Structure 1
């Protein structure tokens, strides 16, 4: 069956439509909030009132319909003055030029169905009710992302008939661990931060203990079925739980010792893992009788190990003691080697990779593999696609990028961030030929989350307002107000606007004695009535954010379609944008060599 991805000619036409819209509206996104009052941004771009904008944005009357510009206007902007005169026209245009409005994305269900039909597997990618969800050892947001992406990656691996996965920018190894345990894939996680890779190794060690601990109560349960209910009750009375850890009483009650060890260890591991996940929004419920078996059911056989009965060390022969000591030393030596796979869990590697990196040198046991990246920052996302195109052993790719403000742009006059002349945007030859350019402020705006703001998430308007008024003070009283030195997170520590300004001036190494408290407060009182201008303007930035993100992602999709060795490519929404705003994945598959 053919893969129903969007034809390249249709994609280029949609890109042209989006570029035309952004050529008119991008100036709003490129206006810096810091300069809002010093450059009178509102009057520069707007011929409507702030209240009119806020009312239109919050209204539900702007339904999708044909865009009919008024005479001498384009998308609500006056052709002569280039100012916005029709807010409703702009909102309709923004809806029509975001990814859903352009109709360029493949539905996740369609992608999975395509992969299942092409592999002849009607169950591939479908989660088992008995399989544990990853929220047992990570927070809700990460669990949502890992579960959705792992299903796609596992289906890609099955379609390409590969058993290896390379996760670029693997971080703490959430996705790697789940892919390995849930789908029995050999996963190599590559991250440039040694702190992340070392942390991932420690995390794997804890997960391994977790899996062992849950094997013990299962064995104990099987043993207990041979005993009477009265005997079980009598045994249970032999345990104390003063500090949450049950104590072993007699050698005859090994099954209960196993249960105690499991409870204590699972609490310890859950606490350790949740701490690294910002206090674990979805903690493991140890009171759930199914939680243990469900976690164990997800583990691949090479992760779980048979737990031998406890034997008193003094009862072992000298030969057996030496044997166990030798085996323990060998195990520790294996775990100390960075490139050695540890009992079925993934292998974390520390390395900075580019499209030119020889993966077979980095990973000596590399075979054909699927390349993945979950929220790879800045230029790493396009570099992942370039790597996929350049390496024949990489059979498929699934890449979700983030941090668009960290992208380097080829046609930025400053050319900051480009490595050896290779930049993150644009990556496709089609947009390179047009010298497509966004701008850092626009890329920063692309990181805004429209769905969250629409759901009441709001924006940190007071802190933005403080910063913009501070810039006025710097202009009026200090010669270095254009300094690039950052103020930093002063707002969170300040008790008032006056306190904020004084802290900021000290951070900038400026003399704050030049201004009295009343002088500083007078600025706040002067600009407070105009705060609604900033609120309205930033809401327009939020509205335009999905369009800028769309251009960046369509450029990446276009790049894949330009590659002769890529047979299928698509842009797919993997995540719920309320839980994970950077929710789109670029998926590519190479022609089979079989």
Structure 2
């Protein structure tokens, strides 16, 4: 625990001077003159001295020459999650090796679910389901609670493929009902799915292969004289807004009629915002009878942060903080420091720099950002808009060949009554074109900082668990 605290302190010392970069919204890059106000001086000077073309050509080369920009990225990488003590994190492949070292042989099953979900979702659900199944079986757990179950992708697979009793909890009834109907669709085609899958072991779930289209699940069950295999049996849904005070054990015991001594697993795939830390608080409460926690957090920008409120998003933050149950920081160590990140920094933490750095593509992601930043200049010049006034334009830039076309579509979408002077727009674009290259630098810096911030958020959660003196199985999983 002391090693983790020490490393957190080092990461904080590195990050603090650059938080203004992470917390600067790209919309205001030109209007607030971020280039001169927050970009490190050495990067500014090198940009002015050697030019943008040299800077980017060198940065994207296979063997870049060390300069201010490459050094910034290199130093940031030294503060990513793999810089923390080795006992604080583990790669996914190594997790299964650990199970094997404990004498447990992992399941080796794969599925063909492409008809039910996109490739990204299919990958996430399959990997997560296997992980949950392996650790639950090792821990002797039969009942799994899926927090924020959403459409029930993970829950239904755990019930159908791995024969667990699963309780899906979601705050919206439309999701609970959707999860139920989607699972029924899974049941309908389950035999077809497993016949197309690799290394799949037949389970107790047995349903006919139905190729005809039926209007609804009731018609299906009536026609084939079948009863649901997992729906309302081993897989149940509850609609409830989960807080740290939710009585998880009571919900499970009520649905599955188990005794008060049985332990459960608490899992969550994409637990949004502070729901991830709510799961930690539920886990450490002994009355909840939770033995295993596997959690994949997301949407860091929706975390309720205790020591900061962004004026730009004050309406959102005030609504989120109404319960004063904060999601960052949660460790006593960072609480005592009253450490703050800021909403845009947390938004930044959700970015994946590998996509940019590996593809060596800087034009595609920055064109929309430059168009939006330049549109802000135009709106303020023409209408006197305060730069804090939020104008949601949406994803227009990729559909526009020119900035001129973008302005026309944006003004129409914003329903602004203004006569557009195309000549003025073109002159504006030419005047601020230098800021496009500057914005590319700004974008790279934010991308480089993203994993630093995400690692800090995650390690704050881990330290919180250590501080509770928990003996636990706790896994952070990242999908790439």
Q: Normalised by the size of structure 2, how large is the TM-score? A: 0.82
Alignment of 1:276-315 (within 5 A): 292=195, 294=197, 297-298=200-201, 300-301=203-204, 303-305=205-207
Paired residues of 1:132 and 1:298 also in contact (CA < 8 A): no
2:76 equivalent in structure 1: 94
CA drift at 1:134: 4.8
Distance 1:191 1:62, change over 3 A: farther
Distance 1:445 1:53, change over 3 A: farther
1:351 equivalent in structure 2: 240
Q: 2:372 aligns with which of 467, 485, 490?
A: 467
Deviations 1:167-220 (A, max 9, x none): 111122121122122221111111223222222211111121113xx4xxxxxx
CA drift at 1:305: 4.6
1:25 equivalent in structure 2: 18
The secondary structure found in structure 2 opposite 1:460 is: helix
Distance 2:70 2:356 in 1: 19
Paired residues of 1:561 and 1:569 also in contact (CA < 8 A): no
Distance 2:393 2:175 in 1: 28
The alignment status of 1:141 with 2:37, answered yes or no, reads no
Alignment of 1:446-525 (within 5 A): 446-456=349-359, 458=362, 459-482=364-387, 483-491=389-397, 494=400, 496-513=402-419, 515-525=420-430
CA drift at 1:153: 1.2
Paired residues of 1:377 and 1:403 also in contact (CA < 8 A): yes
The alignment status of 1:192 with 2:171, answered yes or no, reads yes
CA drift at 1:467: 0.8
Distance 1:558 1:393, change over 3 A: same
Distance 2:302 2:155 in 1: 24
2:313 equivalent in structure 1: none
Paired residues of 2:146 and 2:169 also in contact (CA < 8 A): yes
Paired residues of 1:181 and 1:299 also in contact (CA < 8 A): no
Paired residues of 2:107 and 2:134 also in contact (CA < 8 A): no
Q: 1:400 aligns with which of 269, 285, 296?
A: 296
Distance 1:473 1:294 in 2: 55
CA drift at 1:487: 2.5
CA drift at 1:523: 0.9
The alignment status of 1:382 with 2:277, answered yes or no, reads yes
Distance 1:552 1:31 in 2: 19
The secondary structure found in structure 2 opposite 1:538 is: helix
**Structure 1 unmatched ranges of 5 or more:** 1-7, 64-75, 77-84, 215-265, 267-283, 285-290, 308-324, 578-594
Distance 2:383 2:34 in 1: 21
Distance 1:88 1:31 in 2: 21
Distance 1:294 1:499, change over 3 A: closer
1:536 equivalent in structure 2: 441
The secondary structure found in structure 2 opposite 1:567 is: coil
CA drift at 1:299: 5.3
The secondary structure found in structure 2 opposite 1:512 is: coil
Distance 2:83 2:250 in 1: 44
Mean Cα displacement is larger for which, 503-512 or 16-25? 503-512
2:332 equivalent in structure 1: 429
1:561 equivalent in structure 2: 466
Give the greater-gyration-radius structure (CA).
Answer: 1
Distance 1:165 1:9 in 2: 33
Structure with higher helix content:
2
Paired residues of 1:560 and 1:569 also in contact (CA < 8 A): no
Deviations 1:62-87 (A, max 9, x none): 69xxxxxxxxxxxx9xxxxxxxx933
Alignment of 1:236-251 (within 5 A): none
- How many residue pairs are counted as aligned between the two chains? 441
Calculate the aligned-residue CA RMSD, in Å.
Answer: 3.1
1:152 equivalent in structure 2: 131
Distance 1:382 1:486 in 2: 30
Distance 1:148 1:572 in 2: 13
CA drift at 1:492: 5.2
Distance 1:52 1:442 in 2: 29
Paired residues of 1:173 and 1:200 also in contact (CA < 8 A): yes
Q: Normalised by the size of structure 1, how large is the TM-score? A: 0.68
Paired residues of 2:301 and 2:343 also in contact (CA < 8 A): yes
1:209 equivalent in structure 2: 188
The secondary structure found in structure 2 opposite 1:15 is: helix
Paired residues of 1:134 and 1:178 also in contact (CA < 8 A): no
Distance 1:530 1:485, change over 3 A: closer
Paired residues of 1:36 and 1:534 also in contact (CA < 8 A): yes
